[in-house]
Every structure is written in C-alpha cells, then in structure tokens.
Amino acid sequence: MANKFTFYNTLDRKVEEFHSREEGKVGIYTCGPTVYHFAHIGNIRTYIMQDVLIKALEYAGYDVKRVMNITDVGHLSSDADTGEDKMVAGAKREHKTVMEIAKFYTDAFFKDFDAVGNKRPDVVEPATNCIPEFIHMVEVLLEKDYAYVAGGNVYFDTSKLDDYYVFSSSVEKEALEVGVRDDVEEDVNKKNKTDFVLWFTKSKFEDQALKWESPWGVGYPGWHIECSCISMKHLGEYIDIHCGGVDNIFPHHTNEIAQSEAYLGHKWCNYWFHSNHLNDQSGKMSKSKGAILTVSVLQEKGYDPLVYRFFCLQSHYRKPLVFSWENLDNTVTAYNKLVKRVSELKAEGAVDEAVKAEYEGKFLDAVSNDLNTSMAITVLYDALKADTNDATKLALVESFDKVLSLDLIGHAKALADAGSSVDAELEAYINDAIARRAEAKKAKDFATADAIRDELLAKGVEIKDTREGVVWHLV
C-alpha cells in the first residue's frame, strides 16, 4: 500500500500504522447486536463508524472481508454473566417466543443499519447456528486446562493467563478489579472473580428457552464464546481488526482474547478498533431510560437517516458525541445545502484527472489519518469550491461518497427532478404570488404579505427570504 493507513489500536493504546497479515487483504470481525430490543442511535453510530473504516480501507485499495455475529442466545443482562437472560426477558416482555423476538429485532436492526448507508457484512451468523463449534472450543479449553467445571457450569480460568487485562494500564486494571469485586451477584462457583462462563447448565432461570445437549449436560453457551468461534469459522485463526463499542472492551473483548488465544496458542488479533458513546444531554444513551430513540423514530419524525450519518461523520469516532435535536436540525440545513450545491453541477466537459487525483489524495490522507471524517468532509467542501469544471467536481463527489455514503448525487438528482416536475402553471402562479408579496412588503402592507405567504403554504409551497432574494420549495 502506497498510503499509510492509521487508526487508534486499543491493544497498544496509541494511533498506529495498519499492516494486514496478508498483503492487500483485511479480515474484520464486528460484534453484532443482541436481538432482544431495538438498537438505539448510539449503537448505530458504532456501526456507521465501522462502515466508514471498512470503506476507507477499500478506498485505500484493500480487499476487506467482514464477519458479524447476531447474539440470539446466552447474553445476560450484565456483560459479566449475571442478571437475567436478555433474550428471555425480551420474550417475556412482549409475550412472544425467543425465536420470534430474535427474528423481529434482527429485521429491525438491519432496517436501521441499511438506512444509514451501511454496507452489510459479508457474513452474518446467528449464535444459534454454531452450537457444535462452541462445544468444541469449550472441550479444547478443558483439555488444555484453561477451563474447569463447577456447579454444573464450565468456566474459563483467568488465573492461567500471564496477562488477563490486556487492554488496561495498571491504574485501569485496579479500577476494573474493584468493579469485578463489587459485582452484586457473586457466583460462588468461580475460582477467580474474573472467571467467566463458557457453558451454562445450571442456570438461575428455570425458563431458559433455548437449550442444547452438551458433554456437561443440557444447557447453553456463554456470550463471549460466540464471537471467538464465529470469527474463527469464517476468518480462520487470525483476524486483522476486531471492532466494537468502547463498552465492549471489558469484559467482553478481554474475555474473547483470553479464550481465543488459550485455544489457538498464539496471538489472535493485532488491531482493536473501538468507537465512543453517543450521549444525550442527560448522559449516555441506554435502552433502560424509557423510549428508545432509533433511526426509524428519526425517520418517523421526518429526518433522513443519511442526515444522521452526516451528523456522526462530523465528529471523531474516539470522542463521545452529544446528540440534541438542535444539532440534528443544524445538520439537516448543512446536508440540504450540500445537496443543493451538488444539484447545481452540470455534467459537462471532461474530468480533469490531475485535479481529481489531487483531491482524492487529500481525501485519502484524511480518512487514513485515524479516520478523520470531519477533515474528509472539509476536503469535499474544498473540492466543490475548487477552481475546476463541474464534471471534475461531480466525479469527486462520486468518489468520496464511496466512503461517506451520503448519497449526495442521488439526493441531488431527486431535488432537480422535483424542481423540473413542477408544472409551468404552478410556477407562473408562484412567481406571480412572490411578486405580489414583494409589492405588499414595499407598501408596508405586511398583513397582505403574510396572507400571500400563507396562501402559498396552503398550496404546498414554502418561501424563504434570503440575501439572494426569495427562494421557494415544495413541502
């Protein structure tokens, strides 16, 4: 690769240059949703930033294969194996079966996932498809003495590792140890506080819906095991990049590394990519704080899902992002202006290849510099202002949109079509009304001017006074 591609590797706690194991090819694993409830817009932010990472790598010339799991079994309400099973709780709440819940929320997840311009992973695997693989991995971990059976469950023995807290500095490690100790529901079967369940047979829940035969009795897998198995099934013994949200770092990703490397006997994944939270004004978004704000809800309120994507791209993936309606409204204005600007470009003349290459280079520099998406958008604005012809600008918009996925050309075309589909009669009427209103305003007859504005609005035409004169659009 000619270009240096960098991003923050949580494993080494610094921005690093990326090198794939195999020249030109990247294997990426993404933790998928637990399909017991809707994914809120904060969850979707994580998938947008991963999508940008993947498309930026492709822009840089890599061939990317991405695998994602769907958790439809075994995820308890605390990531540290305590509390209630999320799927069972979801089924109870909605008086449905666990499989009905899984199907419903998987479909809902992908509806929102697609709507914000994300490309589907090459492989999407539900955990319930891979029970034999989970059992095999647990057997090997027992054989290798990394696991033990206690109280009917199989546990991973974290004391067998030299460094269990791979992601953490010594200070963070102390905080995490306190956190684990403070776990309210202590599991007396565990030899060490940080041990985690690989396979449950003695569950606290009499009504666990999905159970399978295993060498340790009828039961179900722990949550962490599925990501290790599903990634190895489709990407082999090594993955280049593992993605997730920052709240996956501990314990989920820590446990994934523990069991994967114990099983394989070598390092498993070189780069860990984590994106930060979306907060609302009251703090971190969660599913437990009443109504869940989803992409579909944004759509119902009249927001284009790609405007939400644009909102996310304007800030850096490693920083928490604050969501507010005001911020989103500002993004709507910015997005519409951008679309309008693109709609005014005429596809005439020849593309200036030298200028195109220059701006593509700047764009690649931005996205390959720790995924600086706001800088990439600045390059887009600069390209639109550049001293070159429209054909070149259009070619650049199309090129950048391979990564940004804002459908700027599609939206610009729709805007132009909407403009040209207004019939001549209506247009004459609008122009006449605008002229009458200007007369009324000139005569300081504001009541008449307002009445004309309302008359237009009643016919579905909204007008706005701008520095360039009166503009109108259909509502």
CB of 34 to Zn ion, least distance (A): 10
- Nearest CB to Zn ion, comparing residues 31 and 241: 31
On the CB side of 253, how many CA atoms lie within 13 Å of its CA? 26
> In degrees rounded to 5, what are phi and psi of residue 468?
-90, 5
- Nearest CB to Zn ion, comparing residues 225 and 408: 225
CB of 221 to Zn ion, least distance (A): 12
What is the C-alpha separation between 281 and 324, in angstroms, rounded?
7
CB of 217 to Zn ion, least distance (A): 25
Cα of 168 vs its chain's centroid, Å: 24
Kindly tell me which residue out of 28, 31, 116, 241 binds Zn ion, with binding defined by CB under 5 A.
Answer: 31
Cα–Cα nearest to 269, from 246, 238, 236: 238
How far the first Cα of the chain sits from its last, in Å, is 48
Give the range of 25-33, 125-133, 259-267, 338-346 binding Zn ion by CB under 5 A. 25-33
- Nearest CB to Zn ion, comparing residues 31 and 142: 31
Give the range of 44-52, 219-227, 338-346, 451-459 binding Zn ion by CB under 5 A. 219-227
What is the C-alpha separation between 79 and 303, in angstroms, rounded?
33
- Nearest CB to Zn ion, comparing residues 31 and 377: 31
Question: Does residue 28 interact with Zn ion by CB under 5 A?
Answer: no
CB of 45 to Zn ion, least distance (A): 17
Pairing type for strands 153-156 and 147-150 reads antiparallel
CB of 73 to Zn ion, least distance (A): 14
Residue located via tokens 């600069």: 382
- Nearest CB to Zn ion, comparing residues 108 and 227: 227
Question: Does residue 269 interact with Zn ion by CB under 5 A?
Answer: no
- Nearest CB to Zn ion, comparing residues 81 and 304: 81
Question: Does residue 227 interact with Zn ion by CB under 5 A?
Answer: yes
- Cβ neighbours of residue 466 closer than 8 Å, sequence gap 6 or more: none
71, 127 Cβ separation under 8 angstroms: yes
CB of 326 to Zn ion, least distance (A): 35
Cα–Cα nearest to 44, from 407, 309, 335, 253: 309
- Nearest CB to Zn ion, comparing residues 227 and 235: 227
Residue 462's beta-bridge partner residues?
473
What is the C-alpha separation between 409 and 390, in angstroms, rounded?
13
Give the range of 23-31, 44-52, 148-156, 269-277 binding Zn ion by CB under 5 A. 23-31
- Nearest CB to Zn ion, comparing residues 57 and 227: 227
What is the C-alpha separation between 306 and 115, in angstroms, rounded?
7
**Which SS3 state, helix, strand or coil, does residue 216 take?**
coil
CB of 214 to Zn ion, least distance (A): 21
Question: Does residue 88 interact with Zn ion by CB under 5 A?
Answer: no
Counting residues that bind Zn ion (by CB under 5 A) gives 2
CB of 226 to Zn ion, least distance (A): 7
Cis peptide before 132 (omega within 30 of 0): no
- Which spans of this chain sit near Zn ion (rule: CB under 5 A)? 31, 227
